[in-house]
Amino acid sequence: MADDASSLTFLSSLLIPLLVLLLASLSRRWLKSARKNPPPSPPSFPIIGHLHLIAKPPLHRALAAIAAARGHVVLLRLGSRPVLLVSSAPAAEECFTTHDLAFANRPRLLAAQILGYGCTTIAWSPYGPHWRNLRRISAVHLLSTGALRWSSDSRTGAVRSLAKALFLEGGDSGPAGPRRVEMKSRFFNLAYDVMMGVVATAIEGESADMRQRFREVVEETFAVSGAVNVADFFPALRRLGWRGHERKLASLQRRRDALIGELIERHRVRRRQSCRNREASAAAGKGDEGRSTVIDVMLSLQESEPETYTDVIIKGLIAALLTAGTDTSAVTMEWAMCLLLNHPEVLHAVRAELDAKIGQGRMAEEEDIPDLHYLNCIITETLRLYPAGPLLVPHESSQDCTVGGYDVPRGTMLLVNAWAIHRDPNSWDEPEEFKPERFQCEGGKEEAGLRMLPFGSGRRKCPGEGLAMRVIGLALATVIHCFEWEKLPGEEVDMTEGRGLTMPKAKPLEAMCTPRHTMLDALSQL
């Protein structure tokens, strides 16, 4: 009996402190959870959460409807993944200024892992030294003032080629007659030629074939990336054999990888040949004059640091630059022309500005674009109504923070609906109307602040804004200045949005194009 009593005493002395610690821990957790102030959230279903609310595309409109009903800061649960939906400029500003570092990471989505070479590209890499290095390379060798100045001739040549093709495609009516033209593919080819001129050295005779193959890959990339992938929200499904979307991504990636691999290998062969002939290398302007393409730069870095700059890293950077720099600019130019055709008074006004500041008979130059204030307002208004990225690339919080007074835990995916912010009646007068002059009154896009997010904001903002604005500005100035544009006889311009990350038009733009008599001499000399 004495032994039993001593055993009970020992157990009591051991259990009581453990129970006290357990109760204290539970109390702290309860108090902590009681202090939490989560964002409002719509009613959800078990297991799937709010996935049923985003089942109907386009995604940016579905999310805008949720925000209209629940507020500009909403917490969604998509399967097992918490998602913070932000749909106002003040909330976006808080995310990209006060909490910019906290939201600098990217979620590991399936498309990012497969198309992003294991999340190692500049778009999908986690925030850290590797991402900063890729950003530096892009900024110095592609997007710096010197690099943009060097690539100016490439952009001008691509735009002049577009104008020449439009001028000569007269058929039986001759070069000066009106003709029906499709502009979607032309704008894509222009953007592709500009980016390829910077990223890779042109190889005679292969451009048309590779351009078409790459266009198909880019369009499919944005289409499959914009689709909701259930496995991103239920990771266990992949372990159970759910592979439908993954197979599509893998098939696409094999073709993307093969295309980029061809480019890199041809440059590698060319570099070997150049090494055998220093005089030829100097004539090509490689290295000392800073005129190497991005692929040349990466191969040079690979020679000195092969463990850091592997073929996978090089492919990822090239794929990201070519993909991000082509479709986005092409889509913006196409939407701009659609808006101008639907608002002929704006088209006449911008043409008058071009005639006054450039003159009749001279082609637009890149140096003219900053002085074309109304044209720049048109571009900005197009980006407001039809941002090439209606939803910014997702972010993910790396630490707890507060947004709009609500608590946001670490590991929450952030979706910023730029399309909804750009059409928020709290920020814009007549937000659904196409009114370029609104930016003349406000002093331009810079004055709009985070009410305008076509290129994102903060650390992960798209670094290609300067290049994109140069391409779009020169292209639109040229086609408006050199040609008369009208809708197809008896038809309206279809403004229906298609599916995909970049919000393409559902129906490619077609219009009637006629060379202007005042520009015939300039066009005939192209």
Q: In the prediction, which pLDDT does 448 show?
A: 65
Confidence grade of residue 384 (pLDDT, cut at 50, 70, 90): very high
Q: In the prediction, which pLDDT does 273 show?
A: 80
3-class DSSP assignment, residue 403: strand
Residue 291 has pLDDT above 60, yes or no: no
| Cβ atoms of 382 and 335 closer than 8 Å | yes
Q: In the prediction, which pLDDT does 441 show?
A: 67
Q: In the prediction, which pLDDT does 21 show?
A: 40
Residue located via tokens 């490689």: 286
DSSP state of 415: E
Select the more confidently predicted residue: 117 or 177: 117
Residue 5 has pLDDT above 60, yes or no: no
SS3 for 308-320 is CCCHHHHHHHHHH
Residue 383 has pLDDT above 90, yes or no: yes
Q: In the prediction, which pLDDT does 237 show?
A: 77
Binding site per annotation, positions for heme: 462
Q: What is the pLDDT of residues 74-95, one digit of tens each?
A: 999 999 999 999 999 999 999 9
Q: In the prediction, which pLDDT does 48 show?
A: 94
**Residue 105, strand partner residues:** 396
| Cβ atoms of 522 and 362 closer than 8 Å | yes
Q: What is the pLDDT of residues 8-50, one digit of tens each?
A: 443 344 444 434 344 444 444 443 444 489 999 999 999 999 9
Residue 393 has pLDDT above 90, yes or no: yes
CATH number of 109-389+456-524: 1.10.630.10
Calculated CA dihedral for residues 16, 22, 28, 31, nearest 10 degrees: -100
Confidence grade of residue 174 (pLDDT, cut at 50, 70, 90): low
Q: What is the pLDDT of residues 464-510, one digit of tens each?
A: 999 999 999 999 999 999 999 999 999 999 999 988 788 999 999 99
Residue 298 has pLDDT above 60, yes or no: yes
What average pLDDT does range 99-105 have in this prediction? 97
What average pLDDT does range 273-297 have in this prediction? 62
Residue 107 has pLDDT above 60, yes or no: yes
Average pLDDT, the chain: 86
What average pLDDT does range 64-78 have in this prediction? 97
Binding site per annotation, positions: 462
Q: In the prediction, which pLDDT does 28 show?
A: 43
- Spell out the residues 6+ positions from residue 394 whose beta carbon is closer than 8 angstroms to its own: 106, 107, 109, 413, 414, 415
Domain regions of the chain by residue span: 109-389+456-524
Residue 255 has pLDDT above 90, yes or no: yes
Backbone angles phi, psi at 428, to 5 degrees: -130, 140
Confidence grade of residue 379 (pLDDT, cut at 50, 70, 90): very high
Q: In the prediction, which pLDDT does 443 show?
A: 53
Cα of first residue to Cα of last residue in the chain, in angstroms, is: 110
Q: What is the pLDDT of residues 313-348, one digit of tens each?
A: 999 999 998 888 899 999 999 999 999 999 999 999
Of 44-53, 62-71, 265-274, 432-441, least confident by mean pLDDT is 265-274
Calculated CA dihedral for residues 263, 267, 269, 271, nearest 10 degrees: -170
Confidence grade of residue 213 (pLDDT, cut at 50, 70, 90): confident
At position 364, the amino acid (one-letter code) is A
Q: In the prediction, which pLDDT does 1 show?
A: 47
Residue 246 has pLDDT above 90, yes or no: no
| Cβ atoms of 113 and 251 closer than 8 Å | no
- Spell out the residues 6+ positions from residue 472 whose beta carbon is closer than 8 angstroms to its own: 329, 332, 333, 336, 379
Q: In the prediction, which pLDDT does 23 show?
A: 44
Q: In the prediction, which pLDDT does 4 show?
A: 47
Select the more confidently predicted residue: 435 or 198: 435
- Give the CA angle between residues 463, 113, 202 to the nearest 5°: 50
Select the more confidently predicted residue: 9 or 306: 306
What average pLDDT does range 49-62 have in this prediction? 92
